[in-house]
Amino acid sequence: MLHYLRKIQCLRISILLIFMQSLAEADLTFSNNAFSLTFGDDSKVSSAVSTADNDELVLDHLLPSITGWRIIEMDYEDMENSEVYNLNMTNLGGNRLQLTAPNNPNFIVIVQVTEAARYLKFEIESVSNTGQTGVLNEGNGLYSDWGPYSLEFQMCTEGNKFHFLPLDYMTITNHRRLGIQDIASWHFLEHSQNGGEPMGAIAVYYAETDAAHDDILLDIWGNEASLPIPNRANNNNWDRTAAETWLNQWKTEFADTSSMFFFMDGRTDLAGDLYQAVDIAANLGVNTLYLFPNVWRGEYEYIPYRQSNDGLNINIFPNGLSDLLALRQYMEAKGVGLDFHYTAGLIGRLDPAYGASNLHPDLASWGTGTLLNATSVGATSMDVQVPAGFEVATVSPWDTYQYPHYYPYVSDVTIGTVDVRVGDELLIRSTMELTSENTYRLQGIDGLDSDLIGAEQAHAAGETVTFYYSPW
């Protein structure tokens, strides 16, 4: 009897295991009020159906090549040599997916899916290149062994009605191929593992009309806390209603805008002329006065150099902020708004708070080394020893704008990499050449604020060398 009971028990366990295996390998569908997406066990989107008319929108002939989930090992020198790892899918239950690479079992990705009323949220829970869920190989620091890899999700549908929206700054989305191909990619996942950063998430939504598109965006903006919201520190009740109220207020204030540009060339009474320009704008019915940085900041470059990012031109505003507020009050009485060009948070090389004389530790850098030999004042070349695994920052060519999902943001051609700190001095170098193993020669070195060619200070061997990203 006991023998038969054991047989029955084993049979039940076998049936359960077979059932669980078939469940894990079966197609998986996520749906909401607007559409449904079905994934095969190869992690590809096998079906995308609109609820309203039951239309199938997946382009079948593109399924084998450019749809679903995959990992790409980037070759930034030659994109054609990048290696693609297709991923298989396992249903973990609870709307969680496990993605694994058949040709590299060390790759494991966990994705959490949320079925909102009119969009699906795909949130990266963890990535791994060690065969252990959520564990990355640290390599030379900051999980650098994951650095060349990018996780990617693609859909190819007809009608230009499916859309991807990035829900945080770790996610890049791109819309290509005449509106049929949507791409989401995650290049920065090694940084996510460093603590405090999101892993990355997208919202996938379907909209038949422009009005429906905008309405769904309000849903997403009101629901997803990871998205930026106005005045977050003092806004504790953000939802769809609050988002719609804010948007309507913005339309009232800014949707109908006309601008007058004010230039100061040849002006002797800058403040007086500025107030006169306000009067002229008001008389013409122009509701905005637009000031370029050479006017409001007092520097001709769009990017600050000596001034702080919010520094004011003392020739127009000798008392600083109080003069600016007085101008703004006068303009408000006249019904004229004030716009400043280029107020993005960029830091000038001689910024008084963060620049050369007081370099802030949080300035973005891409590597460090050690000065190999002592140098004197006026030096135009320096030898720097770097640690094993050091990589020179990659600067992408212009044509990579065609493929933004392939390149990390920091390698954009508009990002500079020539700023270098030696000891306490910020310098600019022209070239950087590998002269021997782990040694680079910096040439064309120059200081920042002097007629002297080369470094303005002498430096001792062993001083720390830091390589910076810059907005120049």
pLDDT at 36 over 90: yes
C-beta separation of 369 from 465 below 8 A: yes
Please indicate, yes or no, if residue 142 is contained in any of the structural domains.
yes
Distance, CA of 171 to CA of 123 (rounded, Å): 10
* Mean pLDDT across 28-44: 95
Evaluate whether residue 2 is within a structural domain. no
Stronger pLDDT, 98 or 170, i.e. the higher one: 98
Could you tell me the pTM of the whole model? 0.71
Question: Could you tell me if 320 and 402 lie in one domain?
Answer: no
Q: Kindly give, in sequence order, each residue whose CB lies less than 8 Å from that of residue 77, ignoring residues fewer than 6 positions away.
A: none
327 in the same domain as 406: no
Tell me the pairing of strands 337-340 and 288-291. Answer: parallel
* Weakest-pLDDT range from 28-32, 65-69, 274-278, 361-365: 65-69
Residue 436 pLDDT level (bands cut at 50, 70, 90): very high
Q: Would you state the pLDDT for residue 17?
A: 42
User: Are 295 and 371 found together in one domain?
Assistant: no
- The verdict on residue 238 lying in a domain is no
Residue 19: give the domain boundaries: 11-224
Sort 243 into a burial class: Cβ within 10 Å, 0-12 / 13-18 / 19+: buried
Count CA atoms closer than 13 A to 256's CA, side-chain side: 4
- Which of 224, 250, 272 is the last residue before a domain boundary? 224
Identify which has the larger pLDDT, 283 or 173. Answer: 283
DSSP string covering 149-205: EEEEEEEEBSSS-EEEEE-STT-EEEEETTTTEEEEEE--HHHHTTTTS---EEEEE
pLDDT surpassing 70 at residue 149: yes
| Residue 439 confidence (pLDDT) above 70 | yes
The pLDDT of residue 323 is above 90: yes
The residues that bridge with 383 in the sheet, in sequence order, are: 441
Average pLDDT over residues 392-419: 62
- Count Cβ atoms within 10 A of the Cβ of residue 94 and give its class: 0-12 exposed, 13-18 middle, 19 or more buried: exposed
Per cent of the chain over pLDDT 70 is 84
Domain end call among 291, 325, 340: 340
Number of domains the chain contains? 3
Q: Are residues 273 and 212 in the same domain?
A: no
Q: What is the pLDDT of residue 62?
A: 57
Is 207 inside a domain boundary? yes
Q: Are residues 124 and 64 in the same domain?
A: yes
Q: Band of the pLDDT at 3, cuts 50, 70, 90?
A: low
Q: Are strands 288-291 and 259-262 parallel, antiparallel or unpaired?
A: parallel
Beta bridge partners of 428: 419, 446
Query: Got the DSSP string for 445-466?
Result: -B-SSSSSSS-SS-B-TT-EEE
Q: Does 464 score more than 90 pLDDT? A: yes
What does the pLDDT look like over 112-136, one tens digit per residue? 999 999 999 999 999 998 888 888 8
Rg (Cα) of the chain, in Å, rounded? 28
**Region 392-403: what's the mean pLDDT?**
61
Residue 31 belongs to a domain: yes
For residue 243, what pLDDT band results from cuts at 50, 70 and 90? very high
Residues 321 and 381 in one domain: no
| Tens of pLDDT, residues 81-107 | 888 899 999 999 999 999 999 999 999
Q: With contact defined as beta carbons under 8 Å apart, do 85 and 71 qualify? A: yes
Distance, in Å, from the CA atom of 465 to the CA atom of 435, rounded to the nearest integer, reads 17
CA 183 – CA 351 distance, rounded (Å): 39
Considering the domain architecture, whether residues 156 and 111 belong to the same structural domain is answered as yes
Q: Is residue 405 part of a domain?
A: yes
Q: Tell me whether residue 331 is in a domain.
A: yes
pLDDT for position 361: 84
Mean pLDDT of the chain: 84
Q: What is the pLDDT of residue 23?
A: 43
Whose tokens are 């122009």? That residue is: 286
243 in a structural domain: no
pLDDT, position 148? 80
Same domain, 81 and 194: yes
DSSP 220-276: HHHH-TTS--TTGGG----SHHHHHHHHHHHIIIIIS--EEEE--TT-S-HHHHHHH
pLDDT of 394 over the 80 cut: no
CA angle 131, 133, 135 (to 5 degrees): 80
The CATH number of the domain holding residue 332 is 3.30.750
pLDDT the model gives residue 410: 47
Residues 369 and 410 in one domain: yes
Q: What is the mean pLDDT of residues 15-20?
A: 42
Q: Do 307 and 392 fall within a single domain?
A: no
Q: In angstroms, rounded to a whole number, what is the distance separating the alpha carbons of residues 376 and 358?
A: 22
Q: Which residue has the higher pLDDT, 313 or 188?
A: 313
The CATH number that applies at residue 402 is: 2.40.30
Name, in order, each residue with C-beta under 8 angstroms of 267's C-beta and a sequence gap of 6 or more. 273
Q: Do 53 and 182 sit in the same domain of this protein? A: yes
Same domain, 88 and 49: yes
